[in-house]
Chain A
Amino acid sequence: ETGVTQTPRHLVMGMTNKKSLKCEQHLGHNAMYWYKQSAKKPLELMFVYNFKEQTENNSVPSRFSPECPNSSHLFLHLHTLQPEDSALYLCASSQGSGMGISYNEQFFGPGTRLTVL
């Protein structure tokens, strides 16, 4: 596999379920990102990991919990979500800057289409 991969591609879950989204990058990058994309809204940056350290958390509710075990893998753990959390969740990676958000080009995965019932 090359680039940035995300699994699953589609996920339907109830509000009481616990599920996880997985992202893997094969580009040797050090920074990874989670974004939420809702219909007709700007892309929302949720979390940033730079060299495995979380450097950004844009006021994301605690029902979303990220995990970055190494620079190639990023998870988003989901717990007791709400219907308004239904969206396309995109993962991206880039060369890290060692501090905060990197200006470098971001490579995106295909996304996970999440539906919360």
Chain B
Amino acid sequence: SQELEQSPQSLIVQEGKNLTINCTSSKTLYGLYWYKQKYGEGLIFLMMLQKGGEEKSHEKITAKLDEKKQQSSLHITASQPSHAGIYLCGAALGGDSNYQLIWGAGTKLIIKP
């Protein structure tokens, strides 16, 4: 199994509906990133969370970090076609000079008009 699991792998949502994507780690999280990728293109930074319980919002996207669960969730409110794409979480695992930077396999989001 992967060290950073994203769920679901893909999601089809009616425009205007809310949705949640999860990213769960098998190890302690020392920092978690959310990025968005359009097919075949580079990654666009959404937000970074570092402290347990931290929550950040940007426009209609909110991300939270649950340190105890070693999990982060990304919530989109009133989804729009512009939200379609692949959402990737990346995390720094371990501590001090021994940490790894790993990524989830991504969640493909399709918005139905």
Which residues of A pack against B, CB within 8 Å? Answer: 4, 6, 40-45, 88, 90, 92, 99-101, 103, 105-111, 113
Contact = CB atoms under 8 A, between A and B. Distances in A.
A106 B88 contact: no
A99 B97 contact: yes
A43 B88 contact: yes
Contacts of A99: 97
Interface of B: 2, 4, 30-31, 33, 35, 40-45, 48, 50, 88, 90, 92, 97, 99-106
Given A43-B103, A103-B31, A108 B90 contact: no
Nearest to B44: A108
A107 B45 contact: yes
B87 to A, nearest CB: 12
B105 A40 contact: yes
B48 A42 contact: no
A100 B99 contact: yes
